[in-house]
Amino acid sequence: MRIVLFGPPGAGKGTQAKRLCDRHDLKHISTGDLLRGAIRKDTEVGREAKKHINDGALVPDDLVWELARQALSEQNNDNFIVDGFPRTVTQAEWLDAYLEGRGKPVSAVISFEIDPEQVINRLSMRRVHARTGANYHLDYNPPPPDVREEDLIQRDDDRPEAIRRRLEVYKNQTEPVKHYYERKGLLSCIESIGSIDEVSERIERVLRREDVLRK
Ligand code: AP5
């Protein structure tokens, strides 16, 4: 199965992607993680991406596609989750053409629905473990006691002005992707509010209802 997790920044896509991967033995492809990896390695793509990410803007389609296509081509099984990609209709068309060309099209798109106020809280209270990349929320998903405070960092794009810009970009550039997949009959929406377990259960229900696990 090939599942796209779609939704605004901070909706909980990364948190749920990790759970789904553990539960169903799927690979996780996150373009945000790929881009941050390129920044850490100080590659040409990483240096260019950094300017856009820290401003809360989208990285140009061709740069993101270079990383996403590479990650997709390295998948030797056809069961994976794509998180944070596609974020423009152009990216969606490229992804679909690539997967359809391999005879393994997108099985389902799950859209995380949440209002912007909650997103602002989630992102401003998010902390990331510097070494493992694990994501926490200081109130709702606190780090375990053995994690030291000095090992937790705040992402540069989780500053209030970058969060506002990311929400604006989502509305203007990314939301059309939702309608694109709705027209293709692949979209299921879930409320991304309540506890992390409750959101996971809603996703599992969609997977069962749409029989995605066997696609
Ligand atoms: P990316 O890393 O993809 O960021 P994002 O989509 O903005 O998503 P986030 O990681 O901020 O949030 P999330 O939905 O994964 O939520 P999470 O689970 O962490 O992209 C970063 C940047 O890279 C983009 O802005 C762009 O510049 C660039 N980029 C990436 N892909 C691109 C593309 N395809 N094209 C162009 N540019 C691209 O949860 C958030 C917080 O909430 C955490 O603290 C978590 O613990 C907490 N939480 C989760 N669920 C719950 C819950 N149910 N209740 C309470 N708290 C919760």
The answer, yes or no, to whether any atom of ligand 1 lies below 6 A from the CB of 64, is: yes
The answer, yes or no, to whether any atom of ligand 1 lies below 6 A from the CB of 53, is: yes
Tens digit of each residue's pLDDT (9 = 90 or more) over 35-89: 999 999 999 999 999 999 998 999 999 999 999 999 999 987 789 999 999 999 9
Residue 175: CB atoms within 10 Å: 16
Whose alpha carbon is nearest atom 49 of ligand 1? 12
Whose alpha carbon is nearest atom 34 of ligand 1? 85
State the Cα–Cα distance between residues 207 and 30, nearest whole angstrom: 20
pLDDT above 90 coverage of the chain, percent: 91
CA of 11 to the centre of ligand 1 (A): 7
Mutate to test the pocket of ligand 1, among 64, 126, 202 (most ligand atoms within 8 A of CB): 126
pTM of the model: 0.94
CA of 10 to the centre of ligand 1 (A): 4
* Triad 167, 171, 172: Cα angle to 5°: 120
State the Cα–Cα distance between residues 106 and 181, nearest whole angstrom: 10
The per-residue pLDDT for 75 is: 85
Chain centroid, CA 104 distance in Å = 20
Residue 167: CB atoms within 10 Å: 18
Tens digit of each residue's pLDDT (9 = 90 or more) over 174-196: 999 999 999 999 999 999 999 99
58 neighbors 169 (Cβ within 8 angstroms): yes
Residue 166 annotated in active site = yes
3 neighbors 82 (Cβ within 8 angstroms): yes
Tens digit of each residue's pLDDT (9 = 90 or more) over 98-114: 999 999 999 999 999 99
**32 falls in which pLDDT band (50, 70, 90)?**
very high
The answer, yes or no, to whether any atom of ligand 1 lies below 6 A from the CB of 35, is: yes
CA of 1 to the centre of ligand 1 (A): 22
CA of 54 to the centre of ligand 1 (A): 14
Mutate to test the pocket of ligand 1, among 141, 164, 201 (most ligand atoms within 8 A of CB): 141
Q: Which of 18, 19, 104, 155 is catalytic?
A: 155
> What is the residue whose two structure tokens read 């696990």?
213
Burial class (CB in 10 A: 0-12, 13-18, 19+), 150: exposed
Reference 133, options 64, 30, 45; nearest CA is 30
Strands (E), the chain: 2-6, 27-30, 80-83, 108-113, 126-129, 135-137, 152-153, 187-191
Mutate to test the pocket of ligand 1, among 20, 28, 58 (most ligand atoms within 8 A of CB): 58
Residue 155 annotated in active site = yes
